[in-house]
Structure 1
């Protein structure tokens, strides 16, 4: 079936990418010894504006997968083979690049003789030098399990259609609220209880809990929420527009609470881990932000402003930019870490953010023009008679043919990464 592009998904992906880059730039500067308290507080405030980034990528992964397979069951071997080439291979390429990049600037690397390739193998499972690549490992689990998610969602959809006591909308909202309650309980266990469980359980269970952020189990709600959006796009748009004022109020309240929570729980150095994704209060602000930004993008539908065009372009190349952006931060940090910046950490962070975004997107765009771009930035150029197109893959997307593009819809793109 021909499926039109949904432009706000690309724009939301662009916003999520910008949020993630800002988070990682803040983390580079907020823990420095010479930072002053006003800069710490301001960076913490900005940090809580960006919490929606990674979960939104999971949400969009679910959106794109369910959208393109709402009426067709995927050929699983072909499906996994394509996703492996589009997402996992770029992950392996960049894991090697980060591993090598960090080591060539370490004297021990040149003096030790044979490199420690065991550390490279470890990077493929527990990325450290490419610290952001954990997301690709996590989101790829949704691809592997997608047929099970699709079968379950289809079963629930058919059951809802047979319910006569409630309308389909009431049934869906009830299921979403139940899912939110269960997921909030999971976040409560993760943040308050699982640390104690890790110390008392034997291997491999303690190891699995220690690295629970790498597991799809900790993000399943966002993925299935994507199914709701994908299967009822018009209803989703209408609903997010109606609840927009409430989401704004909820976001403001949670924004104040999270800022207070971090400042209260930190000592001389701000501890951003207090606002981890796997925490009930953080989950609430993430949901408020996702619905809020989606509602704003819905209100902008039908317009063609420079801001929308920029977000669409960013979203199209954001997967490759996501993969490379930490390398850009490393390069900037190579210059800034020897410097003392008291009173300047806030402006330097903002400047570093702008440079990182521009450079990472430029590299992603440039690599997309080269042969083999599918295996470096998840973008594959396909020639069509009379014109040239970019097919883009993101964490959770599938490629569409030219017949699936409407004349008015801009080409979509991205976190894998994921």
Structure 2
């Protein structure tokens, strides 16, 4: 029968998808030469409301893996399924993005297609499909997941005999210890590793330069994902009890991060100041993640239409994630020649809405077509599976 479905995970994935689309919509407009200071500041404020997006995807990926595969599993079947559901769509969409950018570039045809060699580089360091770096990073997590699963089982086995108070303290110590180490790692990444890449020789300089592609740089989100998967009820309780504090920390860091970006930028706002690999950005992300999780728990049973909408978005979010940058490219083809003085915020919001609708529409359509697993990572339900579900439902509700 499998494990029960956890509704808030799909809903949280829907929120994360919306945040990511908003980030990329903002990035399309905030660097334009004709943007006014007021629009730059407003877009920066909106941008810092969305920093939880990609790390939340990392957290949810870890939660689902530890929840479903934390116990003993067959590695070959596991990695084959993950590569089929995730990496094959990555290959397809990498090719689509690469072709889209180049077929509209006259030099590509003038050179007789000599740029085909750059496609290999896209498979390692995605540039045209800029959001696809996440797939490169998460595949590393899949490869090393068996080691993490062993650690997960060992820690869980040692914690189970303890009383509740001792178990809670141990879990808190694990979270605090890994969190402190992670902040130190981010400090090195943000303040020191830039200099290291200049001094180290290849290939170490490349590894440092592209450290944002390494799953190790997102390790803390895997840890809290494992904690959530190990005890969902306890995690829900913690998130709801921490609501006032997570809200206050988020508000404080929101003000701090906005100030850092505006102070550190010149005439053009530099959003890279609040990169994921910065200690203060990490704090706001964790605070907002706990805040949103707690709010979703509080909303269960209420606002059913809103939660159903989030769940629907979350269901088709992976396909939407793969395709949404292409939609932004298409919209930008029309908006970049336009003079938008004083309208950058309005066009950002319009781009966000159109991109969400189009990306989810494409994801929904492809998920109901043959080969959906290879395009959007979703397997179509066969009539046999649907019939089995109906029969199981009938057995559950059969009078005794």
Q: Same fold (TM over 0.5)?
A: yes
Equivalence for 1:247:
246
> Which consecutive residues of structure 2, in runs of 5 or more, have no partner in the other structure?
none
Cα distance in 1 for partners of 2:340, 2:365 equals: 33
Cα distance in 1 for partners of 2:377, 2:388 equals: 14
Aligned 1:1-400 pairs, distance under 5 A? 2-70=2-70, 72-162=71-161, 167-303=166-302, 305-385=304-384, 387=386
> Which consecutive residues of structure 1, in runs of 5 or more, have no partner in the other structure?
391-401, 408-418
Cα distance in 1 for partners of 2:151, 2:212 equals: 24
Q: Does the aligned pair in 2 maintain the 1:383–1:389 contact within 8 Å?
A: no
Bigger helix share: 2
Secondary structure of the 2:160 match is helix
User: 4+ residue runs of structure 1 moved beyond 6 angstroms?
Assistant: none
Residue 113 (structure 1) shift? 1.2
**Stretch of structure 1 that moved more, 319-328 or 166-175:** 166-175
Secondary structure of the 1:86 match is helix
Q: Does the aligned pair in 2 maintain the 1:382–1:389 contact within 8 Å?
A: no
Q: TM-score, normalised by structure 2?
A: 0.95
Q: Does the aligned pair in 2 maintain the 1:382–1:388 contact within 8 Å?
A: no
Cα distance in 1 for partners of 2:115, 2:333 equals: 24
Structure 1 residues 165 and 108: alpha-carbon distance in aligned structure 2, compared to 1, 3 A threshold: closer
Secondary structure of the 2:369 match is coil
Structure 1 residues 233 and 164: alpha-carbon distance in aligned structure 2, compared to 1, 3 A threshold: closer
Structure 1 residues 112 and 3: alpha-carbon distance in aligned structure 2, compared to 1, 3 A threshold: same
Q: Does the aligned pair in 1 maintain the 2:14–2:317 contact within 8 Å?
A: yes
Q: For each residue in 1:274-323, what CA deviation from the matched residue of structure 2 results, as whole angstroms up to 9, or x when unmatched?
A: 00000000000000000000000000112352111110000000000000
Q: Does the aligned pair in 1 maintain the 2:126–2:133 contact within 8 Å?
A: yes
Cα distance in 1 for partners of 2:230, 2:108 equals: 52
Cα distance in 1 for partners of 2:361, 2:385 equals: 26
Cα distance in 2 for partners of 1:388, 1:250 equals: 49
Q: Does the aligned pair in 1 maintain the 2:45–2:258 contact within 8 Å?
A: yes
Instruction: Tell me: higher relative CO, structure 1 or 2? Use CA pairs within 8 A at least 6 residues apart.
Output: 1
Residue 165 (structure 1) shift? 11
Secondary structure of the 2:247 match is helix
Q: TM-score, normalised by structure 1?
A: 0.91
Q: For each residue in 1:103-155, what CA deviation from the matched residue of structure 2 results, as whole angstroms up to 9, or x when unmatched?
A: 01111122211342210111100111101100000011111111000111211
Q: Does the aligned pair in 1 maintain the 2:175–2:223 contact within 8 Å?
A: no
Secondary structure of the 2:380 match is strand
Q: Does the aligned pair in 2 maintain the 1:135–1:214 contact within 8 Å?
A: yes
Residue 158 (structure 1) shift? 2.2
Secondary structure of the 1:315 match is helix
